Amino acid sequence: VRLQPGNLFKPCNVDACVNPAQSRCGRCKLRVYCSPSCRDADWIDHKVYCEAPSTPIAYTKEQMRTWYAKQDKFRDKDEELSAFEEVPLPAFGEMWARFKK
């Protein structure tokens, strides 16, 4: 899925990359990438959090994680995201089944 022309100046979500984003995650539509290689490199970490934003809470949680990653604040993520912890994430078994496919 290509981004709209007005959004092309967003930087790639991979920390070491400064290229403009050209596409976004096909599932959650929140992470943006400049190339398939950056997308693949980010998938290792992103797949744990990636889910279709079917609810406002799921969407907000991924937005927060993306923002904190770009701001280099993951060391504080447990404290900062604690307000969202009462919202259950999919069970590990469900997540593993999705990623095995």
Q: What is the pLDDT of residues 82-94, one digit of tens each?
A: 544 444 444 444 5
Residue-wise pLDDT tens digits, 46-84: 887 786 655 566 666 666 766 666 665 445 444 444 544
Task: Tell me: pLDDT of 1 over 50.
Answer: no
Report the pLDDT value the prediction gives residue 4, as an integer from 0 to 100: 53
Q: Among 87, 68, 63, which Cα is nearest to 79's?
A: 68
Q: Quick check: 89 and 35 in contact, CB under 8 A?
A: no
Residue spans per domain, the chain? 5-100
Alpha carbon distance 88, 12 (integer Å): 29
Percent of the chain with pLDDT over 70: 41
Write down the pLDDT at residue 52.
Answer: 61
CA atoms within 13 A on the CB side of 53: 14
